[in-house]
Structure 1
Amino acid sequence: MTADAVPPTQMIVDPRFLQVADRFFRMFRTRQQGGGALAAYLYGEPVLDIWAGWATRDRRWAHDTVALSFSTGKGVASTVLHRLAERGLVKYDDPVAAYWPEFGAAGKEAITIRELMSHRAGLHRVRGLMPGPLDLLDSDAVAKALAAAPPDRRRLSGPGYHAVTYGNLVAEIACRVTGRTFPELVEQELAGPLGLREFWFRVPQNERRRLAPVFPRVNPLPSSWSATARVMSRLPGVRGIAEAGMAEGFDELMRSPSAHDAVMPGWNGVFSARALARMYGALANGGTLDGVRLLKEDTLDQVLEVQTRRRDYVLGIRPNWRLGYHPGWVALREQPLRSIGHYGFGGSGAFADLETGLSIAFVTNRLGSNLTTTIADARFPRLGGDAVSIARRAA
């Protein structure tokens, strides 16, 4: 069964994946739980495409609802750059400055694309990068500021998660080597070949009716965002999180409609679960889906290689970064080691497990479940764990 064989208004539940569907539907029983969508492919065939809950307090989640998915977009942006690398437009071990000369300022002349894609460029700081929060929406100004910024010295001892800046860096390289805008590249490299349009970093005005606004307000502590950020920026152990993700006013910016006017692939991607599962479905299936080759198998072999096993000085863990992705973290003792994907703040995420041929994607407007915070959310790891277990039995 191909995606085209089922009307987009009709849900898909392969009987083998009923356990996953049951868990998903239990997550969205009340308006307080918001809504979401879940989609999965197994060896190139759709096995789940379901949705539930509320897009707003008075509108149910529908087959075409989309949601802001934060860092989930990093995997999408990375896939675009890998497509360009296959055509020889960029090489992973070349300096970034070979394609973006201004980037070589302030001691960054030797930093490579490989290092940048594994969060070792030392440009994680978004706090203080721009004069005000709205300035973060000016991608040209952000690129100019990043090019002029000195790298953090901690990059020499380990990665530091570029929570917001990663997407701007990747997008600038892609635009420099092609002469096209990043939305044009996403359309050309992903949306067009995959036959789905919901890969948006700048949401078209005529599609914004489909958006499910995220909630609740974003703040890891009871105090204001500004006060919390100031305190965290001074505390060892969490200082990096404040530097990388807590720019002044960023909590309001991520809830503002103006966020959808900009191109910031590190955090402002808007997707459907169906589109994400389809992209990762190609990667999980040896790089192809429905006769379309997204990436070559030797590219996938390179992408799967762990680039650094060192502790990330922003996150405080060892993410084992791949080239633009992390592994699919799931609620299982035996993790899917041959997996690549990216999770987003508040719960959304997607990954491909090349061992089982499985891809799975989850989007939601509810930042964190009722029992967790907006930062540490276990919904997708549990859904992913169930799905990986089933795929292993099906293999």
Structure 2
Amino acid sequence: MIVDKRFLPVADVFFRMFDKPGQGGGAIAAYLHGEPVLDVWAGWADKQRRWAGDTIVLSFSTGKGVASTVLHRLAERGLVSYDAPVAQYWPEFGAAGKENITVRELMSHRAGLHKIRGLVPGRYGLLDSEKVAAALAAAPPDARRLTGPGYHAVTYGNLVAEVAARVSGMPFQDLVRQEIAEPLGAEEFGAAEFWYRVPPEQRHRIARLFPKVNFLPAPWATAGAVMSRMPGVKGLAEAGMADGFDEVMRSPRAHNAVMPGWNGVFTARSLARMYGALANGGALEGDRRLLTEETVEQLLEVQTRRRDYVLGFRPNWRLGYHPAWVATRKQPLRSIGHYGFGGSGAFADPETGLSFAFVTNRLGNAYTTISDGRFPRLGGAVVTAARRS
């Protein structure tokens, strides 16, 4: 464990969140100016097992930030241009009126391809990345993309992974290792857990998620069908409520797939290390460079300030990230990161040189499994500590 004395208040808040088995378990980690200052864990990975330093957990949309960083590494080497049409690298994508949609639009949720309801047949069809990519390539874009972004809750990772694989000629999971884990020296620092397809020999380390994923009083299929016809929440149902997806998310079969929009498995340590580089001009410990300072500056630029027609508010999307929303009066407006279903999340704040990550197996709170106040509270505490240091 690591607890820099300046961050003792953050650790204290964290430990109080996991003092009973019913609260599950979790971990937090932070870097400041490229150096680790916080790495602690607590609670239970399941009913019979305490959370350990090497416990890993499904962190849902938190993985979108990792997938985005892979593509930025490729862009920095000139393999892909943000303002080029996606179809330049993925010709099939140009079907159904999508020939002019750019990589920049795709990475800021303006491709109009948020829908997963009916995208591929079969309950487990969403775990077949090739079928999903083919279906997205053939699909027409939603016309609302011209008026604002629409959060690609599930499909974003497939889109980014396909572009990355096409321009590099490598499977996406190999790219994650080559472009993220290896440059960060992750294995050396015990932070190699950047996984979408989890190796079978490592799966015993995965914490059990609870309670059930369904956050609604009605059965998932019924609620999804009803919501998909209701103005105001229609986009949310289209983007994240395919029939049976609540079961798919909890199935062990999810760890056989590479679906970077939602099935990333990480430790807080690994996420904090990646974002630690982004918070520190693209580098850690001086000589481990992930991105150039110029690229990091591009990542901080807001791509659209329009209302998101899926989420119903203005996320101010960056290139694959959103800003950190934390419980502090002065928000870190130049931050980038991504939160996940259930409450996990990670971000970088270049203004303070801080990165922070939180992962947990306890989805939400007693009222909803979507999320809760733990991450904003911890994030606010760690930003305050960094500003005082």
| TM class, shorter-length | over 0.9
**Of 331, 354, 357, which aligns to 2:353?**
357
Off by >4 Å, runs of 4+ in structure 1: none
What is aligned with 2:189? none
Decide whether the 8 Å contact of 2:132 with 2:158 is kept in 1. Answer: yes
Residue 376 of structure 1 and its aligned partner are, at CA, apart by 3.3
1:169-180 equivalent positions in 2, closer than 5 A? 169-180=159-170
Decide whether the 8 Å contact of 2:365 with 2:371 is kept in 1. Answer: no
What is aligned with 1:324? 320
Cα distance in structure 2, aligned partners of 1:276 and 1:352: 10
Cα distance in structure 2, aligned partners of 1:27 and 1:229: 32
Residue 167 of structure 1 and its aligned partner are, at CA, apart by 0.1
- Given the alignment of the two structures, is residue 94 of structure 1 paired with residue 84 of structure 2, yes or no? yes
What is aligned with 1:224? 219
Cα distance in structure 2, aligned partners of 1:375 and 1:369: 8
- Given the alignment of the two structures, is residue 145 of structure 1 paired with residue 140 of structure 2, yes or no? no
CA-based RMSD: 0.8
Decide whether the 8 Å contact of 2:87 with 2:99 is kept in 1. Answer: yes
Give CA-to-partner distance per residue, 1:194-243, whole Å, 9 cap, x none: 22220000000111011002111012211111111111111111111100
1:219-298 equivalent positions in 2, closer than 5 A? 219-290=214-285, 291-298=287-294
What is aligned with 1:69? 59
Q: Quick one: which amino acid aligns to residue 284 of structure 1?
A: A
Aligned residues: 383
What is aligned with 1:7? none
Residue 180 of structure 1 and its aligned partner are, at CA, apart by 0.4
Cα distance in structure 2, aligned partners of 1:235 and 1:22: 43
Q: Quick one: which amino acid aligns to residue 47 of structure 1?
A: V
Residue 175 of structure 1 and its aligned partner are, at CA, apart by 0.3
Q: Quick one: which amino acid aligns to residue 290 of structure 2?
A: L
Aligned-residue sequence identity (percent) comes to: 75
What is aligned with 2:374? 379
Decide whether the 8 Å contact of 1:369 with 1:379 is kept in 2. Answer: no
Residue 369 of structure 1 and its aligned partner are, at CA, apart by 3.0
Cα distance in structure 1, aligned partners of 2:371 and 2:289: 35
Cα distance in structure 2, aligned partners of 1:257 and 1:219: 17
Structure 1's unaligned 5+ residue stretches are 1-10
What is aligned with 1:15? 5
Q: Quick one: which amino acid aligns to residue 278 of structure 1?
A: R
Cα distance in structure 2, aligned partners of 1:162 and 1:277: 24
Cα distance in structure 2, aligned partners of 1:373 and 1:24: 20
Decide whether the 8 Å contact of 1:163 with 1:245 is kept in 2. Answer: yes
Residue 133 of structure 1 and its aligned partner are, at CA, apart by 2.3
Q: Quick one: which amino acid aligns to residue 277 of structure 1?
A: A
What is aligned with 1:336? 332
Cα distance in structure 2, aligned partners of 1:293 and 1:193: 7
- Given the alignment of the two structures, is residue 112 of structure 1 paired with residue 102 of structure 2, yes or no? yes
Cα distance in structure 1, aligned partners of 2:117 and 2:288: 41
Cα distance in structure 2, aligned partners of 1:271 and 1:116: 24
Give CA-to-partner distance per residue, 1:20-66, whole Å, 9 cap, x none: 10111111111111000000000011111000000000000000000
Q: TM-score, normalised by structure 1?
A: 0.96
What is aligned with 1:214? 209
Decide whether the 8 Å contact of 1:52 with 1:61 is kept in 2. Answer: yes
1:130-141 equivalent positions in 2, closer than 5 A? 130-141=120-131
Q: Quick one: which amino acid aligns to residue 194 of structure 2?
A: F
- Given the alignment of the two structures, is residue 312 of structure 1 paired with residue 302 of structure 2, yes or no? no
